[in-house]
Chains A and B, each alone.
Chain A
């Protein structure tokens, strides 16, 4: 069960609300120093500049630049794969250089906040790995997965004294 802030619960359960839900997405490229980070927001909370026209959301002192996107969150069903789909508008080509430059899976963090209080994170999804990226001139479709721990090569399968004392 997801734990949400009281403000989000009140907004979700009311007949109407003036709150705008938005998603803050942080892409972190592994192995870069300093860390190469791209922060994007699903909401044009405030205008950053007119030329070029850029909107952004400021959360905890960081600028998250607005890119239209739709998100399919992983469901809560037990046993289902923890995969999310992120469809980002590709009209601005913001993601293409990042996607073409990386050779390791990019870490993706998604947070849900309210536009009226972007500093308070209502819900944080676990960090995903970007495992597939498809794009055309209109849309970038990203598949995000959480690495399955039961498929890790270490330490499963090691015959050591702690797991198999009868061998020693």
Chain B
């Protein structure tokens, strides 16, 4: 099991941090009356999106981690964004839901990196 690299930021920025509980249900769409609803799956992934500021060296570390170590597909342990001070080492099982997007900032040598991930059940 791969770990999120120690040399990268361990927390997501507040801006752009969204976590959505995966919806396992399917609903009917009646013209009148309440819908019928049932779960389609016992387990479903939950989307986790966030951003980090990284230096150029950290972006290179991320590139190697994503393209070589994980090949874009493997599962890795990521620091739990909801971890508290009493449990700093709690991790969650994640996978990239898409490729990271690296955007330039107004600060030389600092990049804004968007990380689309999914938390696995």
Interface, chain A (partner B; CB < 8 A) = 11, 15-22, 43-47, 50-51, 53, 55, 115
Contact = CB atoms under 8 A, between A and B. Distances in A.
Interface residues of B, number: 16
Main secondary structure of the interface of B (DSSP, over half): loop
Contact of A20 (B34, B41, B120): B41
Contact of B39 (A20, A47, A50, A53): A20
B37 interface: yes
A47 B121 contact: yes
A55 B40 CA distance: 15
A31 to B, nearest CB: 35
The 3 closest A-B pairs by CB, nearest first: A44-B43, A45-B42, A16-B37
A20 B42 CA distance: 7
A21 B75 CA distance: 27
A44 to B, nearest CB: 5
Interface in B28-64: 34, 36-43
B1 interface: yes
B74 interface: yes
Given A44-B121, A50-B1, A50-B93, A18 B39 contact: yes
B41 to A, nearest CB: 6
Interface string B81-121: 00000000000010100000000000000000000000011
